[in-house]
Amino acid sequence: QIAFTSKKDGNWNVYVIDRFTKVITQMTSDVADEMAPSFDAQGKLAFASNKSGTYRLYQLDEKKSWNKL
């Protein structure tokens, strides 16, 4: 999988594309801007978001919730 950001909906959101099927999944959707998505060694997705007013790091947990790191 490849994580990327796009501003196609008016603000920066995180997307993931499956490099084999070419299916794109939107991972974030809010009024904040999300940037710099990356997968860690275990395959967990993390990104920076300014949803708290300043940029902080977030990671997707097992419940599909975004947690501040």
pLDDT at residue 17 is higher than 80: yes
Per-residue pLDDT reduced to its tens digit, 21-40: 999 999 998 889 999 999 99
pLDDT at residue 63 is higher than 80: no
pLDDT at 38: 96
pLDDT at 10: 87
Give all strands (DSSP E) within the chain, no chain letters.
2-6, 13-17, 24-26, 34-39, 45-49, 56-60, 66-68
Tally of CB atoms within 10 A around 25: 11
